[in-house]
Structure 1
Amino acid sequence: MRLDIDSTSTVPPYEQVRAGVAAMIADGRLAPGAHLPTIRQLAADLGLAVNTVARSYRELEAAGLVVSRVRHGTTVAERRPDLPPAEAMARLDEAARAYRSAARALGATVEGAIQALRRVDAEQPAADRPGRA
């Protein structure tokens, strides 16, 4: 699993981890049932405190994206829970804010960021795309 943490970002590291893992789950890079690294391992890999990664995993679990079990580790949840439309839109807005922040940090314009999103979206066959939020 490849995550990049920007230590200069205004987005806290735990949120960068949470958003990164959530994005990997959403786009299929982490399939249902896939094992995530242990909290200690991911913290060491990213140079973060164990509690920072633990908070990210707790928030992912609270969102229903992952399941943590003692002695079995943390895995991607088998099925994304159905969300009320308002909650789905709120999460989409949150993801958009994080994407906007990343795009700005790279010096991209809004138009450039939207073009990148469209390029990435075009890589996924239409039959595999989830419904619209």
Structure 2
Amino acid sequence: MSLRITVAADAATAPFEQVREQIADQARTGRLPVGHKLPTVRGLAEELGLAANTVAKAYRALEADGVVETRGRNGTFVAAAGDAAERQAAAAAAEFAQRAHRLGLDRAAALAAVQEALRAAYDS
């Protein structure tokens, strides 16, 4: 298995987001198996013709999402993302539900807000 990423300079999506999205997709679909070691930040940056900070930002976002884990000097590896992603989504949903309730929204209004946010995120 190898990491395959292409970055379109003329795309509306920022380069770090293109890198993040492609790695996340490959991890989610199993093209990058759990435990697969990713290239170093500098190595991937050189390969893609990007600044190291751009790749580092993508790796940080992936780590925050539970898609990868950094093991110090040993490198960055694909994590068991499915479970982590589901746990984080459930925690975010619970937090939203509690906040919507505190704000006095009824279930229909809270659900409408979620549906609009999902439409904006997935249909863009």
Tell me if TM exceeds 0.5. Answer: yes
AA at the equivalent of 1:38:
T
Picking from 56, 63, 66, the partner of 2:68 is 66
Unpaired segments ≥5 residues, structure 1: 98-133
If the length of structure 1 is used for normalisation, what is the TM-score? 0.64
Counterpart position of 2:26: 24
Q: Deviations over 1:65-99 (max 9, x none)?
A: 100122110000134312335958878964653xx
**C-alpha distance in 1, partners of 2:14/2:43?**
19
Q: 1: CA distance between counterparts of 2:122 and 2:29? A: 13
> RMSD value over aligned CA atoms?
2.5
Is 2:80 aligned against 1:78? yes
Task: Identify if the C-alpha distance between structure 1 residues 79 and 63 changes in structure 2 by more than 3 Å, giving closer, same or farther.
Answer: closer
The answer for unaligned runs of 5 or more in structure 2 is 94-113
Separation of aligned partners in 2, 1:77 and 1:92: 28
User: Partner of 2:18: helix, strand, or coil?
Assistant: helix
- Asked if the contact 1:67/1:77 (under 8 Å) is kept, the reply is yes
Aligned residues: 97
Relative to the length of structure 2, the TM-score reads 0.68
**Greater fraction helix:** 2
Identical-residue share of aligned pairs (%): 42
